[in-house]
Amino acid sequence: MEFRRLGNSGLSVSEIGLGCNNFGGRVDQSGTKRVVDAALDHGITLFDTADVYGSGHNEELVGRTLRGVRDQTVLATKGGFQRHDDVSMSVNGNPDYIRSACEASLRRLGLDHIDLYYLHRVDPDVPVEDTVGAMADLVNDGKVRYIGLSQTDSETLRRGHRTHPISALQSEYSLWVR
C-alpha cells in the first residue's frame, strides 16, 4: 500500500481509506471486525466515520473494533450535523455545538483523541472562521490532532485555513452520486 502525507501536516495515511458509513445500521460487531481486519490485511490505515452514521452507533462499532490496533490506524470522524427528535437533521456549525459533538464522538469511540476531525458540512449561518476556531481549540486541547472540511468550496476552504491549518478536504467521489 502506498501512503500519502495530508497537506503540510505530519499525518500519513494509506492512499485508500475505508469509509465506514454502512456499519451503523447494517452490520453487526463481528461483521464490522471482519471488514476492518480485511482492510488492515490489505494495508489500509485510514478509517472514516461520522457521528450521524447510524445515529452514533457506527462510531461505537468502529471504536470497539479498532481498539486493539489503534496504533496502526488513523481514525477520522465528522461532526456538524445535528439530529432532532423528529429524526430530521440540520447543519450546525455553532462553536459550542462542535465542541459538544466532538466530546460525544470521543465517548462513543472510546478514545482520548481523534486523528482527523472534519466539519461534515459548513453551516451557512455561522462564519466558517468561528467553526474552525472551535475546531482549533479542540486541537489545542489535545482532543483532535488535525482538522478537515467536507464538501466545501475553495474560498470557504481558504477562509477556514487562515483561521487554522486545514489538513484535509473531503469531497464526495462515489459511484453512487456519479
3-state secondary structure of 142: coil
Please answer whether residues 47 and 74 qualify as being in contact, where contact means their C-beta atoms are separated by less than 8 angstroms: yes
Amino acid at 19: G
Separation CA 164–CA 178 (nearest Å): 32
Which phi and psi angles does 103 have, rounded to 5°? -60, -45
Catalytic residue flag (residue 53) = yes
Please answer whether residues 59 and 49 qualify as being in contact, where contact means their C-beta atoms are separated by less than 8 angstroms: yes
- Burial per residue of 148-177, b for 16 or more beta-carbon CB atoms within 10 angstroms, e otherwise: bbbebeeebbebbbebbebbbbbeeeeeee
From 53, 117, 118, 146, the catalytic residue: 53
**Which residues is 74 bridged to in the sheet?**
46
Count of other CB atoms within 10 angstroms of residue 32: 22
Residues assigned a catalytic role: 53
